[in-house]
Every structure is written in structure tokens, then in C-alpha cells.
Chain A
Amino acid sequence: GAGVSQSPSNKVTEKGKDVELRCDPISGHTALYWYRQSLGQGLEFLIYFQGNSAPDKSGLPSDRFSAERTGGSVSTLTIQRTQQEDSAVYLCASSPGPVETQYFGPGTRLLVL
């Protein structure tokens, strides 16, 4: 079946602009995660959604970062007033439920000039 999809696959923006990254989880998966992968680094947790519960935002690096999940499915990660240090690969994952295996999408490669 279809896996996790993300769009765009690549995004180049200018410093100070806002960007929106989209994630479509696997159908039926109630849990959704965003991670950030900087060059040569491991994955850094950003935010977690589970069903209708309040999201775990403990990994968001600053108030310029926000995310929402509409209808328990699609999620959008928004970065306002982008900075060069925001350049990274942003990965989305979903799982059938909490504390279950996470399946990752291909990521969005963000470059802030």
C-alpha cells in the first residue's frame, strides 16, 4: 500500500520567508511525527500527534516552528521567518498507534539562502 508521502520534495527559500511542509501519513495511522535531520546528523524529534489528543510540541526549537494536523490525517509543518540554520531535511513518520513502529516518508529538503 501507499507509504508516507511528503511535499514538496525540495524547497529553496530566502531568509525571512515562511515555508509550509506537508505530510500525508499512511491511511489509518493515528500517530504522526515530525523530525529534523541536519547534514551529517541523526534525527531530531520535533512534534508528535496522536488522534485528538493535544500534540507533544516539546521538540520544536523555537516559536517560529508550528504544526497542525487536520482531520486526524494530513499534517503541515510551518516555519516562519526562516533562518539559514533551518536548512535541513524534514522527515515525517506515522505509526498505527502510539508506541508502535514508525514508518518514515522521503523527507523535504529545505535550503534557506
Chain B
Amino acid sequence: GENVEQHPSTLSVQEGDSAVIKCTYSDSASNYFPWYKQELGKGPQLIIDIRSNVGEKKDQRIAVTLNKTAKHFSLHITETQPEDSAVYFCAARGGYGGATNKLIFGTGTLLAVQP
């Protein structure tokens, strides 16, 4: 089945710097890759997603890139702010059969933005 690896597990940056979180997946049939932000005591909130027919997607300070050949995708946050501090999860969804019923998540990255 699908396996998603996420790095780094923790990331500390200065306010205003950029942050990059990387994920790799194992199932080449996976075709949907969302990123979620989870603040303490809350459920995950979708911040951006990308489908396999697109290489890059941007929404203000957040961008996601996808390399299907290498089976990896990355989250880029520019001009980081203290309110960006949270745990970020990447996920992948399979393209066929029962694999389309679920998201497989990475283990999360704790991002700390230092003022």
C-alpha cells in the first residue's frame, strides 16, 4: 500500500524567512496531494492541495510543487509569520479502487517561527 514519508520532523525559522517541508510517496498511481495545518487542540485544516496533472500551485505565501517522476512533493511558505507556527501534514490519495477512499498521511512537521 501507499507510504508517505515527511521531512523534517521539526523546523525552526526566523520570522520573514522561508520554510520548506518535503514528502515522498510510494504509490505511483497516487493523484491527489493535500497539505493540512494543525494547531494545538484543533483538527487539521486544509491549506493547499495539488493534483497529479499539475506541477506547481501557489496561493499567496504558500506554494506546493509536485515531481511525479521522483514521487515527491513539497510545501513552501514564504515570508513566514509567528501565526504560521503549527504542525503541517502532507498526504496522498491513491488513484484506483479502495486506495481512493482514504488519505495516507506523513508523520508531520512541527514548524516554529521565531519572532
Which residues of B sit under 8 angstroms from A58, Cβ to Cβ?
98
Total number of B residues with any Cβ neighbor in A under 8 Å: 25
Q: Does A98 contact B (CB under 8 A)?
A: yes
B101 touches A105 (CB 8 A): no
Complex-state Cα separation, A32 to B34, whole angstroms: 17
Binary flags per residue of A85-111, CB closer than 8 Å to B gives 1, else 0: 000000100000011011111110000
Contact of A106 among B4, B36, B43, B105 (CB under 8 A): B43
- Chain A interface (Cβ within 8 Å of chain B)? 4, 33, 35, 40-45, 48, 50, 56, 58-59, 91, 98-99, 101-107
Complex-state Cα separation, A42 to B2, whole angstroms: 14
- Chain B interface (Cβ within 8 Å of chain A)? 4, 6, 32, 34, 36, 41-46, 49, 89, 91, 93, 98, 100-108
Between-chain CB contacts (< 8 Å), 29 pairs: A33-B102, A40-B107, A41-B107, A42-B4, A42-B6, A42-B105, A42-B106, A42-B107, A42-B108, A43-B44, A43-B91, A43-B103, A45-B102, A45-B103, A48-B102, A56-B101, A56-B102, A91-B44, A98-B100, A98-B101, A99-B32, A99-B93, A102-B34, A102-B46, A102-B103, A104-B44, A106-B43, A107-B42, A107-B43
